[in-house]
Amino acid sequence: MNNPTSIAEIDLNPIPGKRYWNCDREWREEFIYFLIIDRFHDDKFRTPVNTSARAKGSGTQEQLKKFCGGTLRGIRENIDYIHNLGCSALWLSPIFENNDAPNPNSDKYHGYSIQSYLDIDPRFGTKQDLIDLVETAHQREMRVFLDIVINHSGDNWCYRNDLPYYYYQDWPFPFGGWRREDRPIPRELRCENYYHRRGQIRNWDAYPETQRGDFFSLKDFNNDDDQHGLQLLDILVKAHCYWMREADIDGFRMDAVKHLGELAVSRFCSAVREYSYRLGKRWFFLFGELVAGDDAINRYTGANTPTQVDNKTIYFGLNSVLDFPLYWILPNVIKGLSTPENLINRYEALRGRALSRGELGRYLVTFVDNHDQIGQNYKRRFGADTPDEQVIAAIGYVLCAIGTPCIYYGTEQGFSGQGNGDQFIREALFDLEDSQKSYLNQNCRIYQNISQIAKIFQDTPALRFGRMYFREISGNGHDFGLPWGQPCTLAFSRILDNQEILIAYNTSITERRSDFLIVDSTIHKNHDTMKFLYGKEGGVTVQKHPDPSNTSLFVQINLAPMQFVILQ
């Protein structure tokens, strides 16, 4: 049967006899692997390099501006590489048919320029390839999340005379015409009133421009709370529920949330969530790209978005968002370039929000690198000019701290791309010059260490569910305080019931440190032993404070430069 081209042609009743996959893990238990489909692996059988050294990835500047050949089948055939790293969830870049399909020389490899929401981009594969990939992942107890775009469509139509128009005083501009007679799909999207038609955004921080203007040549959907906006939203909801029905998808990462209205996001999430329950999928994960601070996070997540509609309906928004406030702080602390003060304050802000929002802060998706690096003209992977130890410590940190940890593909191999353009941080994990070679190297030192830490994360409930406290440190075993300078020993605990896991990291790149770290005095006793789970052999002895009036307990830990350790 041909792929549907209209919402009227799709069936959203559960597939007869099919048991949809359901997983009881909470979202904060996942370790997400985010990959760009075109850059992970192609369909060819290749031999991975086998060395403990890191790799640079493949592709020249010009090659990486276009399609490189990665496919859904290539992911499925190499899924054990991701599974063995310790990842329990896949986040796939957008899979739907983009403008210029099937031209391999197009620059739409990223997937964010969609012209058909009801078909897979042929350069990535087929609907069956997606179904097979999800089934293979589920056999390994792995979730699969799709990156979706409901803020805008591809460049599927033009303004009058096919000229570029730019946002001006919220004026709607005349519609020119559709670029193709048979696109966009579904056909219901071929209504000019479903688009804001305000021209390209010029001020990315001005409202309503950011929610009504076009992303460059990509055309902004009219997601307002009016007749046409509601009709559009219904189309987009059904188009995405179709993929949940067909492929048993486990979650959506929503692109460009800041450019959508809060009510549109809430309506979409509520409808998708209800459909997931209908299929028996109880933990469908809806998280968003929200490049903003905590005030915006509050507006788009949870049950208070919006607070009231027609005095009777509460719509539930996103489950989570990518933790950009942490991303703006953590990398420089790990590299010793900024003090821990802002990092510690970040968690104090989360603690305050938890008083009214439950455990929301524990569900934020945490990361140290991504494919966009929005706002930066010069792009740099976290691994650029960064020693292996710091890469390991950064991923170790997000695995051990509160949140849902996420790793950007290639980080586990030490990819270190940098330059003026996105292509520099989107290297291929398969060799574009040698058809026999890939960089899916499970013997890479960084990969091996991340895998070890991920195994501890999976085996240790306190690292998934525990409360988190930064630990006071001391150089003399008498005077303690939180670290405010660099270099320092950065330490925190995860505590669950009567179990404490202590994480410590030496931010210095040249000097050893021997510091005393406070531990929980209600869990430990003087002369207890805390054993190393990662980073060192043996253990350390719990000591009491030398001042008899001080009931604190602490351990002394010796750390080499950039050494990351976990103790219990």
pLDDT in tens, 242-277: 999 999 999 999 999 999 988 899 999 999 999 999
Residue 352 pLDDT > 70: no
Each residue of 320-330: pLDDT tens digit?
Answer: 999 999 999 99
d(CA 509, CA 513): 11
Given a cut of 80, is residue 405 above it in pLDDT? yes
Supply the pLDDT for residue 189: 98
pLDDT given for residue 311 in this prediction: 63
Q: Please give the average per-residue pLDDT across 529-536, as a whole number.
A: 98
User: Rounded CA gap, 151 and 222, in Å?
Assistant: 8
Query: What is the structure's pLDDT at 395?
Result: 98
pLDDT tens column, 114-127:
999 999 999 999 99
CATH 3.40.50.2300 fits 7-459, yes or no: no
Helix (H, G, I), strand (E, B) or coil at 60: coil
Q: What is the largest CA-CA distance in the chain?
A: 83
Q: Measure the CA angle with vertex 338, ends 334 and 341; round to 5°.
A: 95
Whether the predicted pLDDT of 442 surpasses 70: yes
Q: Which of 373-377, 480-484, 539-543 is predicted least confidently?
A: 373-377
Alpha carbons 267 and 234: distance in angstroms, whole number: 9
* Spatial separation of the C-alpha atoms in residues 138 and 141, rounded to whole Å: 5
Work out the average pLDDT over 494-520. 97
- Indicate the DSSP class of residue 541: E
Mean model confidence pLDDT for the chain: 94
**Whether the Cβ atoms of residue 324 and residue 290 lie closer than 8 Å to each other:** yes
d(CA 517, CA 491): 8
Q: Would the pLDDT of 481 be above 50?
A: yes
Cα–Cα distance for residue pair 478/545, rounded to 1 Å = 7
Burial of 448 (0-12, 13-18, 19+ CB in 10 A): middle
Residue 309 has pLDDT above 70, yes or no: no
User: What average pLDDT does the segment 308-313 reach?
Assistant: 58
Tokens of 345: 């304050």
pTM of the predicted model as reported, rounded to 2 decimal places: 0.96
Q: Which pLDDT does position 374 carry in this prediction?
A: 86
pLDDT of residue 310: 58
Measure the N-to-C terminal CA separation of the chain; round to a whole number of Å.
57
CA distance 552 to 520: 8
3-state DSSP call for residue 501?
A: strand
d(CA 229, CA 562): 52
Task: List the structure tokens of 504.
Answer: 């410590």
Q: CB neighbours (10 Å) of residue 533?
A: 21
Distance CA 508, CA 58 (A): 31
Alpha carbons within 13 A on the beta-carbon side of 502: 27
pLDDT higher than threshold 70 for residue 85: yes
Query: How high is the pLDDT of residue 355?
Result: 47
Residue 344 has pLDDT above 80, yes or no: yes
What is the helix (H) or strand (E) element at residue 40, kind and residue range?
Answer: helix 37-40
Report d(CA 381, CA 567) in Å as an integer.
29
pLDDT band of residue 362 (cuts 50, 70, 90) is low
Q: What percent of the chain has pLDDT over 90?
A: 88
Name the DSSP class of 510: S
Of residues 24, 22, 23, 30, the one with CA closest to residue 364: 30
Min mean pLDDT across 269-278, 311-320, 338-347 is at 311-320
CA-CA distance, 282 to 294, in Å (whole number)? 27
d(CA 369, CA 256): 17
Quick check: 76 pLDDT over 70? Answer: yes
**Spans of all domains in the chain:** 7-459, 466-567
Q: What is the pLDDT of residue 305?
A: 52
Confidence at 194, pLDDT banded by 50, 70, 90 = very high
Cα-flanking dihedrals φ and ψ of residue 492, to 5°? Answer: -150, 160
Token couple for 130: 């997606």
367 pLDDT above the threshold of 90: yes
Q: Is the pLDDT of residue 434 over 50?
A: yes
418: left (phi over 0), alpha (psi -120 to 50) or beta: beta
Instruction: Indicate whether 33 pLDDT > 70.
Output: yes
- Write the CA distances from 437 to 41, 47, 73, 190, integer angstroms: 11, 5, 17, 44
The answer to whether residue 354 scores a pLDDT higher than 60 is no
Task: Report yes or no: 4 and 118 within 8 Å, Cβ to Cβ.
Answer: yes
Closest CA to 406 of 535, 304, 196, 253: 253
* Count of all residues that appear for the chain in the document: 568
Cα 456 from Cα 564, distance rounded (Å): 14
Protein fold of 466-567: Immunoglobulin-like (2.60.40)
Q: Which residues of 287-313 are buried (b: 16+ CB within 10 A; e: fewer)?
A: bbbbbeebebbbbbbbebbbeeeeeee
Give CA–CA dist 20/39, Å, rounded. 29
Identify the residue with better confidence: 85 or 353: 85
Mean pLDDT of 276-295: 91
3-class DSSP assignment, residue 42:
coil
133-143 tens-digit pLDDT: 999 999 999 99
Measured CA to CA, the distance from residue 258 to residue 63 in angstroms comes to: 31
Q: Which two tokens stand for residue 115?
A: 């012209």
